[in-house]
Chains A and B, each alone.
Chain A
Amino acid sequence: MKKTALTELKNGEKAVVTGINGGGQLVHRLNSMGVFPGKEITKRFSSRRGPVIIEVLRSKVAIGRGMAEKIMVQRVP
């Protein structure tokens, strides 16, 4: 299966996080909200250039566009 950035997912698609291309602080912040490699997430909504809203651990989290582009995921069929 192909890896893509979180921003590429369609609304409602499920995916597993494969990696975070960012510095330690970014990784830690995402970690503390439950976004870490191996975790399944659902993309809920996003506009073309706006933040991406995902659902993880039954909470919804809004992630700025730039940050979302650094989160790599693999689609879950």
Chain B
Amino acid sequence: MKKIILTGNPNVGKSVIFSHLTNLGALSSNYPGTTVELLKGKAVLAKNDFELVDVPGAYSLDATNKAEEAAAGIINSGDYALTINVLDATALERNLFFALSLLERKTPLLFLLNKCDLAKNRGIKIDPEKLSSELGARVIPVIATTGEGFDKLNLRIGEFLEEPAAFLPSKAIPEKNPEKWKLIGEISSLSQKIEHKHPCFLEKLETVTTTPHTAIPFGFVVLLSSILLIRFIGENLTNFVLDPLFNSYYAPFLAKLSAALDSATLKALLFGSSPVPMESFGLLTTGLYVPFVVVLPYILAFYLILSLLEDIGYLPRIAVILDNLSHRIGLHGYGTIPIMMGLGCKVPGLLATRVLETKKEKIIASSLLFLMAPCMPQSAMIFSILSPYPVFYTLLVFGYIFFIGLVAGLLLNRLIKQETPELFIEIPSYQTPNPRLLFFKLRLRLRAFLIDAVPLIMLGILAINLLDIFGVLSSISSFFSPFFTKVLRLPGEMGSVIILGFLKKDVSISMLAPFHLAPAQLAVASVFLAVYLPCVASLFLMIKELGAKSSFYVAAFNLAAAVLFSALLAFLLNL
């Protein structure tokens, strides 16, 4: 199968095009660096099968971070039949710099001129024919979000299959950067016309959200309303939709099933020991109640809000606002984006650290990801388990976790001697989110949760039952019991929870339910479980990203911070 690579600057729409051509899901957002690894899929073009590779965006072929390294690696390998370079019509000149470095390579190349609709709205008129003759390569205008122009792509690919040599670039490209920019100036002045347009609403929003004295209050309002909205949607979906559904339709079915079964062991395994779905620890009761009734609504709410903020293009603005503060904890502003992603799940959060340049930043970002950003399933469980008590305890848990992260960041910044690089990012223009793309993305993320997390939750419940049956649980509990009673002032039997926290954090917090703890004890236990160790999935990914040695240090540092700060909290709460 012939290979086609999809390249270009960050945030030009490569992933939207990839999803469109392969029918596979590739996450896309309105900020640079959404794609950090190579995505591969099969695309049928001109009635032929191709392997299509979505390459992370880059501004040049001299890599400054891991994502750009991956891009330069595949482009330099030469292992492909055709390169498609996606150009953003709203910023043609900047895109042409990367395009020139591809034109130098003398391998078959074709250009897709994307975002033609947005360019038109901003008064930018590009003549594709003229651009094509100036570049000495074919240029196809497209609108990736609607699919306009892809029929032309099919035609051109057909031509490519008949005569690949016609797609070899012929333009002579100067070697030095200043001369390249001069050439770009000439090309764009010949093929592009710009009319002045009056600033629209989105541009006014730009001023409000980037001018320092309005940006910070605005950011605070966005953050606060996001949290309240997530909690509102999550809580109401659980209480008024999913919990009633579970009780009125699923529970009677379980009762019938239980009556039909004889084996007591099997019954205990499937239905557990208590009629309360959160406390029984049966595979079919708690095993399904936790992921579907408690966690799913929050996951849905969180990703809805995150996807919305991403597609509007607000995330890089947060990076700018937080740049000052971030430097004190050894990151630059963009380091806050992986941490925000981590509030959903650690796995995409860790992957997002690939846009960071230095080892120091990656270590600090990974460490803070585990310390200050509890993932959504875990947060959902904390919300749910603390919901019967005053809201003070919920605020205490999350506020304290954030505080631990800040202190740890300040400390790590002192411990790791390396300069933190400067923030240097493109701020995309605000865009009205495209509902179709938004729901496509939401579906992808929910599917990832259902496929990856739900089986792990059930596995966790199964593991607990098996450990219990074989008596391992009680020996683990008694081993850890002095630590819990003396240091954290919690019941000694809680040791068993530790094991599960490693497998799946949300399940470990649900295991607190049968202990009937006081709210202050629940707060200490939640804080400890949230930060003490990464879950298995994220630990393996961290080892892959950072190496075993650094990962060991990060995990050890987290464990130490968790013990210290949870003990401090227990002491402060007078347990």
Residues of A that sit less than 8 Å from B by CB: 11, 25, 28-29, 31-34, 36-39, 44-51, 53, 56-67
26 A–B contact pairs at CB < 8 A?
A: A25-B64, A31-B60, A32-B62, A33-B426, A44-B210, A45-B210, A47-B212, A50-B212, A50-B320, A51-B323, A51-B333, A51-B422, A51-B423, A56-B94, A58-B94, A59-B94, A59-B428, A61-B424, A62-B316, A62-B426, A63-B424, A64-B323, A64-B422, A64-B423, A67-B422, A67-B424
Selected from A48, A53, A61, A64, the residue in CB contact (under 8 A) with B210 is: A53
B94 touches A50 (CB 8 A): no
Which residues of B are at the interface with A, using a C-beta cutoff of 8 A?
A: 59-60, 62, 64, 90-91, 93-94, 97-98, 124, 177-178, 181, 210-212, 316, 319-321, 323-324, 332-333, 421-429
CB atoms of B427 and A61 under 8 A apart: yes
B320 contacts A51, C-beta separation under 8 Å: yes
Contact A33 B422 (CB under 8 A): no
Tell me the smallest distance from the CB of A25 to a CB of chain B, in Å.
7
* Cβ-closest chain B residue relative to A68: B422
Instruction: Tell whether, in the assembled complex, residue B320 and residue A58 are in contact, meaning their CB atoms are under 8 Å apart.
Output: no
- Chain B residues contacting A63 (CB-CB under 8 Å) are 422-424
Q: CA separation between A29 and B424, bound complex, in Å?
A: 9
| Chain A nearest Cβ from B483, distance in angstroms | 44
Contact flag A32-B59 (CB < 8 Å), given A37-B178, A49-B324, A64-B323: yes
Q: How far is the CB of B558 from chain A (nearest CB, A)?
A: 28
Q: Which one, A25, A45, A60, contacts B426 given CB within 8 A?
A: A60
**Cβ–Cβ < 8 Å partners of A29 in chain B:** 59-60, 64, 424
A33 and B94: CB pair below 8 A?
Answer: yes
B178, B427, B429: the one within 8 Å of A62 (CB): B427
Contact B324 A62 (CB under 8 A): no
Min C-beta distance of B125 to chain A, whole Å: 13
The answer to whether B423 and A28 touch across the interface, beta carbons within 8 angstroms, is: no
Q: Are A62 and B181 touching (Cβ within 8 A)? A: no
Question: In the docked arrangement, what's the CA distance between A50 and B124, Å?
Answer: 32
Closest approach, in angstroms, between the C-beta of A24 and any C-beta of chain B?
10
Cβ B324 vs Cβ A36 within 8 A = no
- Give the residue of B91, B427, B428 whose beta carbon is less than 8 angstroms from that of A57: B91
Q: How far is the CA of A6 from the CA of B93 in the complex (A)?
A: 22
Do A59 and B210 form a contact, CB below 8 Å, given A51-B323, A53-B320? no
A33 and B10 alpha carbons, distance in the complex (Å): 11
Q: For residue B277, give the distance in angstroms from its CB to the closest CB of chain A.
A: 48
Alpha-carbon distance A28/B178, docked complex (angstroms) = 11
**Is there contact, CB below 8 Å, between B427 and A60?**
yes
Complex Cα distance, B62 from A1, in Å, reads: 35
Determine how close the nearest CB of chain A comes to the CB of B216; give it in whole angstroms. Answer: 9
Minimal Cβ-Cβ distance residue in A for B209: A45
The 3 nearest A-B residue pairs measured at CB: A64-B422, A47-B212, A32-B60
**Contacts A49-B324, A64-B323 given: A36-B181 contact, CB under 8 Å?**
yes
Contacts A44-B210, A59-B91, A62-B425 given; indicate if A32 touches B97 (C-beta within 8 A). yes
Chain B hits for A34, CB < 8 A = 93-94, 97, 181
Q: Which residues of B contact A57 (CB under 8 A)?
A: 91, 93-94
Decide if B210 touches A36 in the complex (CB within 8 Å).
no
A44 to B316 Cα, complex, angstroms: 15
Contact A62 B424 (CB under 8 A): yes
Distance in angstroms from B213 CB to nearest chain A CB is: 8
Query: Chain A's nearest CB lies how many Å from the CB of B66?
Result: 16
Which chain B residues lie closer than 8 Å to A48 at the CB level? Answer: 212
- Hey, which chain B residues are within 8 Å of A46, CB to CB? 212
- Provide the bound-state CA to CA distance between A27 and B138, in Å: 31
Give the nearest-CB partner of B427 in chain A.
A60
- Residues of A close to B124: CB separation below 8 A: 58
Q: Which residue from chain B places its CB closest to the CB of A33 in the assembled complex? A: B59
Known: A28-B62, A51-B320, A51-B333. 15 other contacts (CB 8 A): A29-B60, A29-B424, A33-B424, A33-B426, A34-B97, A36-B177, A47-B324, A50-B321, A53-B210, A57-B94, A59-B91, A62-B319, A62-B323, A63-B423, A64-B422
Q: Which residues of B contact A59 (CB under 8 A)?
A: 91, 94, 426-428
A60 to chain B: which residues have CB within 8 Å? Answer: 426-427, 429
CB distance from B505 to the nearest CB of A (A): 34
Interface centre among B91, B321, B421, B424 (most CB of A within 10 A): B424
Assess the A45–B212 pair: CB atoms within 8 A: yes
- Contact of A64 with B178 in the complex, beta carbons under 8 Å: no
Chain B residues with Cβ below 8 Å from A25 are 62, 64
- C-alpha gap A59/B93 in the complex (Å): 10
Q: Among A38, A45, A67, which residue has its beta carbon within 8 angstroms of that of B178?
A: A38
Which residue of chain A has the shortest Cβ distance to B429 in the bound complex? A60
Q: Is the CB of B426 within 8 A of A61?
A: yes
A49 to B321: give the CA distance in the assembly, Å.
Answer: 11
CB pair A58–B90 under 8 Å, yes or no, is yes
Q: What is the minimal beta-carbon distance from B378 to any residue of chain A, in angstroms?
A: 32
**In the complex, A54 Cα to B488 Cα: how many Å?**
51
